[in-house]
Chains A and B, each alone.
Chain A
Amino acid sequence: MKRYSIVTIGFILFLSLLLSACSSDSSSGGKNSGSEILVGVLLPVTGNNATDGKDMLNAMEMAVEKINNDGGVLDKKLKLEVADDACDPQTATAAANKLVSKKVVAVVGGYCSGSTLPASGVFHNANIPMIVAAANSSELPEQGYDSLFLINGLVPDQAKTGADYFNDKGAKNIVLIHDNSAYAKNLADFAQKSVEENGGKVIGFEAINPEEKDFGSLMTKLKSLNPDGTYFTGYYAAGGLMLKQFKEKGVPGFFMVGDGSYSPDIISIAGAENANDLLVTATPTANFIPGAEAFVEEYKSKYDLSPGPFSALSNNGVNLLADALKRAESTEFEALKKALKDTKGFEGIGQVIEFSEQNTLSQSNFHIMKVVNGEFTLEK
Chain B
Amino acid sequence: MEIFFQVLIDGLVIGAFYSLIALGYTMVYGIIKLLNFAHGDLYMIGAFVGFTLLSLFTGDGGVNTGILGLGVVFIGTMIIVGFLGMGIERIAYRPLLLAPRLSILITAIGVSLSLEYSSMIGWGASYKVYPIKLPNDGIQLLGTQISFAQMGMIVLSALLMLGLRLFIDKTIYGKAMRAIALDQTACSLMGVNVHRIIALTFFIGAFLAAGAGIMSGIYYGTINFLMGFTIGLKAFTAAVLGGIGNITGAMLGGLVLGILEAFGTFYMGGSWKDVLAFGILILFLVFKPTGILGAKEMERM
A residues neighboring B (CB under 8 Å): 1, 4, 177, 180, 205-209, 211-214, 216-218, 220-221, 224, 237, 240-241, 244, 247-250, 265, 268-271
Contact = CB atoms under 8 A, between A and B. Distances in A.
Contacts of A214: 10, 13-14, 17, 220
A213 B222 contact: yes
Nearest to A216: B10
B279 interface: no
Contact of A250 (B3, B127, B145, B222): B145
A269 B222 contact: yes
Contacts of B6: 220
B192 interface: no
Interface in B152-178: none
B85 to A, nearest CB: 21
Given A213-B216, A248-B147, A207 B221 contact: no
B270 interface: yes
A240 B220 CA distance: 10
Given A1-B113, A218-B265, A269-B127, A213 B220 contact: yes
B194 interface: no
Nearest to B217: A213
A244 B221 contact: yes
B222 A240 contact: yes
B266 A217 contact: yes
Interface in B216-258: 216, 220-222, 224, 226-227, 229-231
Nearest to A204: B269
B174 to A, nearest CB: 32
Contact of B133 (A224, A241, A250, A271): A271
Given A1-B229, A207-B269, A217-B262, A249 B145 contact: yes
B222 A177 contact: no
The 3 closest A-B pairs by CB, nearest first: A216-B10, A217-B262, A207-B271
Interface in B242-301: 261-263, 265-266, 269-271, 273-274
Given A217-B11, A241-B222, A271-B133, A180 B265 contact: no
Given A224-B3, A241-B222, A248 B266 contact: no
A250 B138 CA distance: 12
Nearest to B126: A265
Central interface residue in B9, B11, B13, B271, by most chain A CB within 10 Å: B271
A180 B266 CA distance: 18
Contacts, number: 83
B3 A220 contact: yes
Given A237-B127, A241-B220, A268-B129, A206 B14 contact: no
B133 A206 contact: no
B221 A271 contact: yes
A211 B229 contact: yes
Interface in B7-56: 7, 9-11, 13-14, 17
A216 B149 CA distance: 13
A211 B11 contact: no
A247 B133 CA distance: 14
A220 B270 contact: no
A212 B230 contact: yes
Central interface residue in A207, A212, A241, A250, by most chain B CB within 10 Å: A212
A270 B130 CA distance: 11
B190 to A, nearest CB: 42
Contacts of B230: 209, 211-212
Contacts of A270: 221
Given A214-B10, A217-B261, 16 more contacts: A205-B269, A206-B271, A207-B270, A209-B274, A213-B222, A217-B263, A218-B265, A220-B6, A220-B266, A237-B224, A240-B221, A240-B222, A247-B136, A249-B145, A265-B126, A269-B127
A6 to B, nearest CB: 14
A208 B270 contact: yes
A40 to B, nearest CB: 33
Contacts of B17: 214
